[in-house]
Chain A
Amino acid sequence: MALLDVQNLRAYYETQVYGISRTVRAVDGVSLQLLPNEIYGVAGESSCGKTTLIKVLSGTVKPPLKIHDGTVHYQFGSYKVDMLHFDSEELRHSVRWKEISYVPQGSMSVLNPVRRIIRTFEDIVDTHQGIQDKKVFFNQMRDYVNKLGLPPDVLNAFPHQLSGGMRQRVAIALATVFHPRLIIADEPTTALDVVVQRGVLQLLKDIQAESQNTVLLVTHDMAVHANVADRVAIMYAGRFVEEAPTKIIFGASRHPYTQHLIHSLPVIGDKSSRASLGGAPPNLANPPNGCRFHPRCAQVLEICRTQVPAMVDLGGRHRVACHLVKEATR
């Protein structure tokens, strides 16, 4: 049974300033399903719509962002939540942080710089559940962070006294304190050094393995997905272009964009020439017709310029939206 079911989601930003109105079609027809006990990666570059997708999935839709179409349904055990039509009070009380939590890119988005870490923990737990005894709570938290491999004195520190990697791990501890069923991690290691990144991602994997929950990992770094995710979805210009288990994405991808993302980046030991994609990421206020990738695709067909390719199921949980694939299986 799916933890999250998204069907044909369309979410646009609509702005009106001095008579100029613009509609940015940030998420334009996305469908996906999240299952319990998996790490699901969403890969995409800047302005592909992944941040907007996260906003919708975590229920933080504010003007000028508007939902145009589609459904977002969560199933937390026997508790059903229709995210698009949910009461925000109820959301804050029962869903946020308890069922869905969030690890942001910069840990300073969740950590209050003028309060000790333990106080931030208290704030969050108190808001969502209430704390009876602060001393007992402190001990519980100390045991908890200890279990996660963090030194216990971290609780009494201020955020600026910790390194970036340590702060990010604290942010993960914060996000998992209620053992939510879904953790949304938005570029959690982008700002971190490669060695620290490894530690943070390992922590995330350990937590997922132990509590068997679901992690939605959003990052542009394909190498991270290769080492962490179970399934990966590639997002381009507001749409999913391919989705498959990790081994298949990296071994047998079908979409030209996916293939480019994987093969363009250099690896140590190989100095052979690699090329970049021509053109530029599309302007979401005025996207190209048909397949949005067609202006930059080396294997573009006539049909790509006019018709949006539909998602085709290739079996083995591999979906792809590309006219080339349809041609081949004809």
Chain B
Amino acid sequence: MLRVFRDLLKHDGRFRVAFVFLMAILILSTLSLVSPYDPGRTFKVPADMPPSLEHPFGTSSRGQDIFWWMAFAVRNSLLLGLMTAFVSRIIAIGVGLVAGYRGGIIDRVLMSINDSFVVMPVLPVLILMSFLLRSSMSLFMLAFIMSLFGWPWDARLIRAQVLSLKERSFTQTAVYSGTGAFRISLNEHLPFVLPVVFATTINNMLWSIGMEVTLSVLGLSNVTFPTIGTTIFWANQHQALVAGVWWWLAAPVVVAIVLFLGLYLLFSSINEYIDPRTRLRRIGV
């Protein structure tokens, strides 16, 4: 593990930048544990103060220190992204591997379910769910619902790859070694599928964080809960730009950009690293 880390850090410029960005984000989110201000309380500090030493990101029209608010916001958005990505990866890998390897009726049933989810319009459904569950829409609930939409595309990608892997001789060799279908999917096919999984993980995280921002900006999530999206919601509510409180909008936007770029560069460099083709070159083919 450590060697992988060192390899990437030394040789991949993207990884270095990603590392810096994400470290910044992570530090910011862990700082939320020692925040002197409770994000649920308003008017604890003077409102509409521009960025200064005492309030690095300035203060909002609601009398909250934006820096400490962002600490919570970033933590929650990250958590949301991670949870959605994790759950939907599991579903996608499971469905993709099984449908690809088994084929036949299992494949057809799974793909029908898959395609139904693909054509469903995500945003309207999320909006509907938000209306229905307004008050009990916790972060977990939102993550769970989003992961139900996040897996179909990727499951198809994985399935396509498994279909071609199934035809290769080494799958047959594994069969004749007495290996069961589950272990074959895990040991033989998954390593080839992983690069796709990584690439789609970042997509998924970005999508879910972005989707949450959309919902929050529209006021459809629990707006007292700090996330990147709700920050923008409140800033808009108080007409921040018009009132000249630009730092209230700048903070979430900049943080979002740093987060997105960091994640993108991270997975782009890891993706190349674990790609079977570069892997082979690295081992020294």
Contact = CB atoms under 8 A, between A and B. Distances in A.
Q: Do chains A and B touch in the complex (CB under 8 A)?
A: yes
A15 B273 CA distance: 16
Counting chain B residues whose Cβ lies within 8 A of the other chain, the interface size class is: under 10
B281 interface: yes
A22 B284 CA distance: 8
A166 to B, nearest CB: 27
B282 interface: yes
Nearest to A286: B284
A285 B283 CA distance: 13
Contacts of B10: 19
Interface residues of A, number: 7
A17 interface: yes
A17 B278 contact: yes
A19 B284 contact: no
B11 interface: yes
Nearest to A17: B281
A280 interface: no
B38 interface: no
A20 interface: yes
B284 A18 contact: no
Interface string A270-300: 0000000000000001000000000000000
A273 B77 CA distance: 73
Contact of B7 (A15, A18, A22): A18
Contacts of A18: 7, 11-12, 273, 278, 282
Contacts of A19: 7, 10-11
Which of A17, A18, A22, A285 counts the most B-chain CB atoms under 10 A from its CB? Answer: A18
Contacts of B278: 17-18
A311 to B, nearest CB: 32
A187 to B, nearest CB: 22
A22 B282 CA distance: 10
Interface string B36-77: 000000000000000000000000000000000000000000
A284 to B, nearest CB: 12
A22 B10 CA distance: 18
Interface in A133-182: none
Interface of B: 7, 10-12, 273, 278, 281-282, 284
Going nearest first, the 6 A-B pairs with the smallest beta carbon separation are A17-B281, A18-B11, A18-B7, A19-B11, A18-B282, A17-B282
5 contacts: A15-B281, A17-B282, A18-B278, A19-B11, A285-B284
